[in-house]
Structure 1
């Protein structure tokens, strides 16, 4: 693996790590920030939170694809290995690591799908209220 590939791999892994933590924290934010009062979060804050979650969701998809591409390039003869369908198919389908990669890709796409499907009301759904028995 070349120095450039290693730098790209490190950047992709950190991007993945940060994006997933932003998603995790952003989705839980209403539970610990509102103390049960949905009116505590104004409309502008909700819009900003939705944007941050959308950017983090897109970043985690891009980073996992780049991470996989660098991994496959490292297995082959550099970036040209990405065009080798046999290498990619063999890696993803015939190795244990490939199965893990397929699971990661499926989970990332599933998370992105959930975020996209619930984009307009996701933040509001996570705001606890008195009807679920949470009070301070």
Structure 2
């Protein structure tokens, strides 16, 4: 059950990150979505099925996560018994008498809103998807370790740090897929020259990432302090700390690639070698981002020492 829950959480994280970060990308990286669709038709067309798939996967994986939580709560002993899912009383108790119920009820509504925004017209409604994605990320803070601090000052700080960490990370990592699509399309199209439009998009993405990446790292550090407490001096002593160290190394690698993109590749974008290096670096950043989400999925089901 542990392995299945990790996989479900990982898939859900990826889908929601894409919903928020990819939709948001088209709201800041180009002057307007309409002009973006005209200037980057291939990239914009590829975004449509990506967002629709993300909405479907986010809803399906989210409901599986909900079912897994309820099965775990209603099982007796070490094993997991899913027969409790067929009992209406268990669902009533979960939604009305537990702290997890109201956030999950809200998330179900948000799944419906995301599906409607993604599938309700010829093109996904980007602002609605970005809003639904942001709300899903914030509501996620009420489902895990961050919700254990209750509603005092410490609890509110834990929830705020976790929500800020998720939203900033999703804006950064979730914007990488459309960025890579846009760079590839612009560089392969002879009628657009060899870097002007790509540089403009990169500059807008860089401004966003320049805020989001440090915020994600800083809020993540606050989360680590809350989770580890006195064990912060020797994080490798616990399973939670060891997974956290792996996540920190991966995030450091992403930050290194982001710095390489910004300070080495962007100033020399018109040079063929650096343009190719930039696309490879963004692809590597995206791949490492997926590994970061895998580590986060493991952390969510690993008891912290504090």
TM-score for the superposition, normalised by structure 1: 0.76
> Alignment partner of 1:34: what SS?
coil
Residue in structure 1 matched with residue 8 of structure 2 by the alignment: 12
CA distance in 2, matches of 1:69, 1:53: 24
Deviations along 1:66-108, whole A, 9 cap, x unmatched? Answer: 0001001101121111112111111112222111111111112
RCO higher in structure (CA 8 A, sep ≥6): 1
Q: Name which of 52, 55, 64 aligns with 2:53.
A: 55
Q: Which one has the largest radius of gyration?
A: 2
Name whichever of 31-40 and 66-75 sits farther off: 31-40
CA distance in 2, matches of 1:96, 1:54: 31
> Alignment partner of 2:123: what SS?
coil
> Alignment partner of 1:96: what SS?
coil
Change (3 A) 1:122 1:6: same
Instruction: Report how far residue 7 of structure 1 moved.
Output: 1.5
Name whichever of 32-41 and 109-118 sits farther off: 32-41
Instruction: Report how far residue 32 of structure 1 moved.
Output: 4.4
Name whichever of 30-39 and 68-77 sits farther off: 30-39
Name whichever of 11-20 and 62-71 sits farther off: 11-20
Residue in structure 2 matched with residue 133 of structure 1 by the alignment: none
TM-score for the superposition, normalised by structure 2: 0.36
| Kept in 1: contact 2:95–2:101 (CA 8 A) | yes
| Kept in 1: contact 2:19–2:51 (CA 8 A) | yes
Residue in structure 2 matched with residue 76 of structure 1 by the alignment: 74
Deviations along 1:104-123, whole A, 9 cap, x unmatched? Answer: 11112212222222442636
> Alignment partner of 1:113: what SS?
helix
| Kept in 2: contact 1:82–1:88 (CA 8 A) | yes
CA distance in 1, matches of 2:109, 2:14: 19
Change (3 A) 1:122 1:114: closer
Deviations along 1:22-73, whole A, 9 cap, x unmatched? Answer: 111221222444356533212x332211000011010000011000010011
CA RMSD of aligned residues (A): 2.1
Residue in structure 2 matched with residue 40 of structure 1 by the alignment: 39
| Kept in 2: contact 1:57–1:115 (CA 8 A) | yes
CA distance in 1, matches of 2:13, 2:119: 20
Aligned length: 119
| Kept in 1: contact 2:48–2:124 (CA 8 A) | no
